[in-house]
Structure 1
Amino acid sequence: MLSLKPYRDTAAGLPDILNWGFVVDDGIVVNKDGSLLMGYEYSPPDMFAASPEEYNDLTARVNRALSRFGAGWAVWIDAIREPVESYPPRDASHFPDKISRMIDRERERQFRSQGTFYDTRHTIVFQWKPASKIGRRLQKFMYSNAGEDERAPGDLALMQFKRAMSQFEDAAGQVLGLARFGRYEIDDGYGRVQRRDSLVDHLYSTLTGEPASLNLPGFYLDALIGGRDFWTGETPKLGENYICSVALEGFPAESHPGILDLLDGLPMSTRWSSRFIFLDAREATSELEKYRKRWAFKIRDFKAQLLKIPNAPVNEDAVQMAAETSRARGHAEGGLVTYGYYTPVIVMIGPRWDDLEEQARLVVREVGRLGFAARIEAANAVEAWHGTLPGHAYPNVRRPLIHTLNLADLLPLSSVWAGKPFAPCPFYPPDSPPLLYAATGGTTPFRLNLHVDDLGHTLIFGPTGAGKSVLLATIAVQFLRYPGASVVAFDKGRSMLATVLAAGGQHFEINPNGDDGGASGMLCPLGDLSSESDVAWASEWVETCYRLQSNASCTPAQRNEIIRALNLLRDAGSRSITDFVTTVQDADVRDALKFYTLTHPMGPLLDGQADQLYGSAQFQVFEIGDLMEMGERAVIPTLLYLFRLFEKGLRGQPALLVLDEAWVMLGHPVFREKLRDWLKTLRKANCAVVIATQSLSDAQRSGMMDVLRESCPRVILLPNPEAAKDGIIEFYTQLGLNETEIQLVRQAERKREYYVTGPEGRRLIDLALGPVARAFVTVSDKPSVEAVKAMAARDREGWALHWLRQEGVRYDEYLD
């Protein structure tokens, strides 16, 4: 008879040491020991520039959320460093010209050459083990209503668990940005719907260090997740990967919020696990009383206590520790904090043990600088890793007690705000790349998006010479990555001339004198009267011109005459201002509009038979520096018509409107109202408005700061060495900056660093411009601008490459 005993191995496998059972509800796992698991992914704020008061408030709120838990509860809080794309793939961008592609490829090479970038994902998983049968019977005996609910114990436990988690969400959901793990469905490509759960995916990734999306099985999760070879010992190995763990043991004498934040910026793939096993007040006070007695026993030596010597020497340290333990006991009894056992471990998983060991030594050195004792686990390697898995509260318990306020200081409650990896605007093609990549601290790249959801309006403030023109030109040329994008910029000082001409765009000098590229009759404001709305706009424009010339509003009779004349022009072949003047029968209106005819100052600009200026290029820049010096009689009608042309060019494509030196517009009621209207309406047209100004005082006096702040969630601040001075600091305070942030703005490097703020976070970034980009976006001085104009006039197609060679920039590797 064949014996089967040799084939029946009784040794425990990996599934046997895993506690995970099966999914019992949406985002809830029941474990083999009867406990329940539920978790969240959370997005902590970027506390890089937070004041001490703000950080203390954050930890206090987290303490209040955690201190409500007691015996039977445990929590695993993980900060998972994962590699991220160092730059968007080329086929995700649609640059329409050679130079804008070259600039982006240069940036791509710069970022990819810096090695692997990492971002951090934060998770929190709670475990609750319901009371035993004896505990439930005692509860039923003590509380008369405890037995009224006839539901099964499992259903009652699940209900209590959900209620406790809902209370935690109410307390911490907003401050931590909680997103609960739960079920989701996917189509497998064969018409079948597969049900999955993100909590199960997370459990798998904590075990293996690999992302996954697993179909929910009809059997225990331990077999599904743990179906790999596992070797124990001092260098444990799971499948093809080794596991190396670093344990934090000795803590410094005092903690402060964010004391371990450096672990959230390590240049490697890690999982920083913080497990906390909660105790109720009775258990905590009992443990603390043991500590107090030990310290009290050390106040006088054994001989003095035995002989009851009254004046024996006193151990002052023991006195202090006994008193501190008594205070801790009072805190536990008062419910201000909850005590428990804290076990922090940093886990690294990879195919080469030598690499993991080197990374582990780096971790030990870094945390040692903070006053922590750390060691690479050897004999305890398996148990240390085992205890980091959510739902496994028994392995590797560290006995010293800490309370939840200390715990909040030690947890990863701050994260580098890296921006969204894709453009968040729902009107853009799905998975569109961010506007541009920039550098920030550590090994995390910054992805700059102007948009917050579908709103892309942006404010840019800063003094002269701080890098505003460089930033605007960079934003404009990088915006061309979106398919069909259009960029229109109103420039002052020709600082965008080199960029727009290099990118194949059009540069227009709005100059009625005919100098510097101005031409006779460039614009025809009354040229399009094809619809009733066109006639209404033209009538309003004529009324504005009349009001500017006469300092009086039109009478009803004059309005009727203006509309009559415009309707006559609808059927005419020519619709210039001169044609209107000869058609309108009101003498006052006729005399007022003569200022805009060819025989008068503004005629060379506005009295055209047809528009010769507004082109079809995706990138257009209007130089209005000379125009702005001519007074509002010239400025307002011209800009109103250019704005009209811009609005009619919006067809739903990604569009960007750049208003440089916007303080001029903020200073006039007509433009203030136009800007107010744009901020409300252009959002629906898929257009982002970028408003840049160097005059902080004019922005404050405009009366629009509240509207600007409400409509422009993205604010970018230029370096300003005088930011902390009286009269200026109030402006930054009005923008919501604290003292730390104001110092960042004051100390930032001009024309390189920028402070980006928004509802998602705040970060100091470096544009990291390469030689090719700098050769164009930094051209703003008059000699260089004139040189570019001359070179572009001689060779419209090839001047940009000649310019690069002249500037000594190597570009061959970035050509198509």
Structure 2
Amino acid sequence: MGRPGSGKSVLSAFLMTQARRAGARIFVFDYRLGMEMAVRANGGRYASLNAGQPTGLNPLWTETDARGTAWLSDWLTTLLYRADKPLTPAQTNRIQEVVRQNAQAANPALRNWRDFASLFVSTDDSGDLHQRLLEWTEEGRYGWIFGQTLEDTFSLEGDVVGFDLTGILDSEAEKERMAVLSYLFRRVEREIEDRRPTIIVIDEAWKALDNAYFAERLSNWLVTARKQNTVAVMMTQYASQLERTRTGKTIVEAVPTQILLPNIRAHAADYAMLNLYEKELDVLLNTGSDSRLALIRDDQGSIVVDADLSALGPNLTILGGMEKGEALVGADYRDRPDFWRLS
């Protein structure tokens, strides 16, 4: 946790890179390309998901086993929810039936949103469910999310995978954020079932947690993640940002370790939900960011550490990426896998 420019992204990138030495797999939910260069320097894959542009995502293609159909039914019930007209029990049952039909389709080519929506035409609800589904087909207002592809082409293969979600996280349409974030996280959730040591990095976590569906499932998942050898690293600027989200308090309680960077522009109230001791607050509020100190807290107490990474030299600039990184390695670094080798 730290204000912009405090070094939280660089510190996270450094810790991520160190974890690779032990063979950890990394997934990065990025914001404003902040960790793109670090991901690529680690030999990773990186893609951007932009609002209004095809994503390559299609849960109708991937969620076809027994657990997948159960998840898809629950997810669709939320996706199609309208406050002014909640789904009836009969409609919920119909969603479950059609999801099973989709999974059992002899021809996989039928697992697209237009054909899926057509299966609701016969539902005895005056066409209500069918109309709701049409919004997600190719020509619907949400069609850019799932309706532009048949086979799910969004790849999570590799040891390090990052995706920029700026356009999604900044979207004012909560339904768009819910649809993309929840399904991406579902894809990651499936990957970590192999129990390989994994780190999930979520930048600007408060933006993701401001969606009820995603936040609720993330908070539940954090409780069991350790059983799957997975940890989540969530970055944000202020504790007060988390406090304003629906499940921020629950998330903070579920995260055993906090790394807090000094912020002389902050106020004690910004950290209220963390229940800091006076000495801890003194470190955060009265230490300049150029000190490169960090306060680490867990269930056993807290300690101040030296987080100065300047000894990394130009590699520190690469971990930070962005304009300074491009000035160092060149704007064409994406086309040069070994761009980080400066000598």
Superposed pair shares fold, TM > 0.5: yes
Gaps of 5+ in 1: 1-460, 515-519, 805-810, 812-816
Asked whether the equivalents of residues 73 and 96 of structure 2 are also in contact (C-alpha less than 8 Å), the reply is yes
Q: Which residue of 1 aligns with 2:187?
A: 645
Query: 1:735-772: per-residue Cα shift (whole Å, max 9, x none)?
Result: 24333322211243427332111233422223332124
Larger radius of gyration between Structure 1 and Structure 2: 1
1:717 aligns with 2:260: yes
Match of 1:636 among 174, 178, 196: 178
Given the superposition, is the C-alpha separation of residues 779 and 623 from structure 1 closer, same or farther in structure 2, using an over 3 Å criterion?
same
Q: Which residue of 1 aligns with 2:90?
A: 557
Q: Where do residues 291-302 of structure 1 align in structure 2 (5 Å cutoff)? A: none
Asked whether the equivalents of residues 656 and 690 of structure 1 are also in contact (C-alpha less than 8 Å), the reply is yes
SS in 2 for 1:567: helix
Query: 1:88-109: per-residue Cα shift (whole Å, max 9, x none)?
Result: xxxxxxxxxxxxxxxxxxxxxx
Q: Where do residues 655-804 of structure 1 align in structure 2 (5 Å cutoff)? A: 655-702=198-245, 704=247, 706-723=249-266, 728-732=267-271, 734-750=273-289, 752-769=292-309, 770-781=312-323, 790-795=331-336, 797-801=337-341, 804=342
Q: Which residue of 2 aligns with 1:200?
A: none
Q: Where do residues 51-200 of structure 1 align in structure 2 (5 Å cutoff)? A: none
Cα distance in 2 for residues equivalent to 1:644 and 1:695? 27
Cα distance in 2 for residues equivalent to 1:486 and 1:702? 29
SS in 1 for 2:228: coil
Cα distance in 1 for residues equivalent to 2:214 and 2:66? 24
Asked whether the equivalents of residues 676 and 707 of structure 1 are also in contact (C-alpha less than 8 Å), the reply is yes
Question: How far off its partner does 1:633 sit?
Answer: 1.8
Q: Which residue of 1 aligns with 2:77?
A: 543
Cα distance in 2 for residues equivalent to 1:785 and 1:551? 49
Higher normalized helix content (fraction of residues):
2
Asked whether the equivalents of residues 55 and 154 of structure 2 are also in contact (C-alpha less than 8 Å), the reply is no
Give the count of matched residue pairs. 330
Residue type of the alignment partner of 2:154: L
Q: Which residue of 1 aligns with 2:131?
A: 591
Asked whether the equivalents of residues 547 and 553 of structure 1 are also in contact (C-alpha less than 8 Å), the reply is yes
Once the two structures are overlaid, the 10-residue window that deviates more, 699-708 or 590-599, is 699-708
1:475 aligns with 2:15: yes
Question: How far off its partner does 1:499 sit?
Answer: 0.5
Q: Which residue of 2 aligns with 1:616?
A: 157
Given the superposition, is the C-alpha separation of residues 788 and 557 from structure 1 closer, same or farther in structure 2, using an over 3 Å criterion?
farther
Given the superposition, is the C-alpha separation of residues 513 and 703 from structure 1 closer, same or farther in structure 2, using an over 3 Å criterion?
closer
SS in 1 for 2:153: coil
SS in 2 for 1:609: coil
Question: How far off its partner does 1:591 sit?
Answer: 1.6
Question: How far off its partner does 1:635 sit?
Answer: 0.9
TM superposition score normalised by structure 2 = 0.87
Query: 1:650-674: per-residue Cα shift (whole Å, max 9, x none)?
Result: 1111111112111113323222211
Given the superposition, is the C-alpha separation of residues 524 and 730 from structure 1 closer, same or farther in structure 2, using an over 3 Å criterion?
same
Question: How far off its partner does 1:786 sit?
Answer: 9.7
- After superposition, the CA RMSD in angstroms is 2.5
> Identity percentage over the alignment?
27
Cα distance in 1 for residues equivalent to 2:329 and 2:100? 45
Given the superposition, is the C-alpha separation of residues 578 and 521 from structure 1 closer, same or farther in structure 2, using an over 3 Å criterion?
farther
Asked whether the equivalents of residues 546 and 552 of structure 1 are also in contact (C-alpha less than 8 Å), the reply is no
Asked whether the equivalents of residues 497 and 785 of structure 1 are also in contact (C-alpha less than 8 Å), the reply is no
Q: Where do residues 6-405 of structure 1 align in structure 2 (5 Å cutoff)? A: none
Given the superposition, is the C-alpha separation of residues 694 and 561 from structure 1 closer, same or farther in structure 2, using an over 3 Å criterion?
same
Asked whether the equivalents of residues 667 and 698 of structure 1 are also in contact (C-alpha less than 8 Å), the reply is no
Question: How far off its partner does 1:538 sit?
Answer: 1.0
Asked whether the equivalents of residues 46 and 162 of structure 2 are also in contact (C-alpha less than 8 Å), the reply is yes
Cα distance in 1 for residues equivalent to 2:14 and 2:140? 39
Asked whether the equivalents of residues 135 and 143 of structure 2 are also in contact (C-alpha less than 8 Å), the reply is yes
Asked whether the equivalents of residues 206 and 242 of structure 2 are also in contact (C-alpha less than 8 Å), the reply is yes
SS in 1 for 2:235: strand
Q: Which residue of 1 aligns with 2:142?
A: 602
Gaps of 5+ in 2: none
SS in 1 for 2:166: coil
Cα distance in 1 for residues equivalent to 2:8 and 2:191? 26
Cα distance in 1 for residues equivalent to 2:329 and 2:128? 46
Cα distance in 1 for residues equivalent to 2:6 and 2:29? 19
SS in 2 for 1:683: helix
Question: How far off its partner does 1:504 sit?
Answer: 0.9
Cα distance in 2 for residues equivalent to 1:633 and 1:532? 26
Q: Which residue of 1 aligns with 2:50?
A: 511
Cα distance in 2 for residues equivalent to 1:579 and 1:521? 19
Asked whether the equivalents of residues 494 and 623 of structure 1 are also in contact (C-alpha less than 8 Å), the reply is yes
Given the superposition, is the C-alpha separation of residues 492 and 787 from structure 1 closer, same or farther in structure 2, using an over 3 Å criterion?
farther
Cα distance in 2 for residues equivalent to 1:566 and 1:790? 45
Residue type of the alignment partner of 1:533: R
Asked whether the equivalents of residues 527 and 576 of structure 1 are also in contact (C-alpha less than 8 Å), the reply is yes
Cα distance in 2 for residues equivalent to 1:799 and 1:721? 36
Cα distance in 1 for residues equivalent to 2:200 and 2:135? 29
Match of 2:36 among 491, 497, 508: 497
SS in 2 for 1:710: helix
Match of 1:576 among 100, 112, 121: 112
Residue type of the alignment partner of 1:573: P
Asked whether the equivalents of residues 521 and 603 of structure 1 are also in contact (C-alpha less than 8 Å), the reply is no
Question: How far off its partner does 1:467 sit?
Answer: 1.6
Cα distance in 1 for residues equivalent to 2:16 and 2:179? 26
Cα distance in 2 for residues equivalent to 1:713 and 1:466? 22
Cα distance in 1 for residues equivalent to 2:69 and 2:329? 41
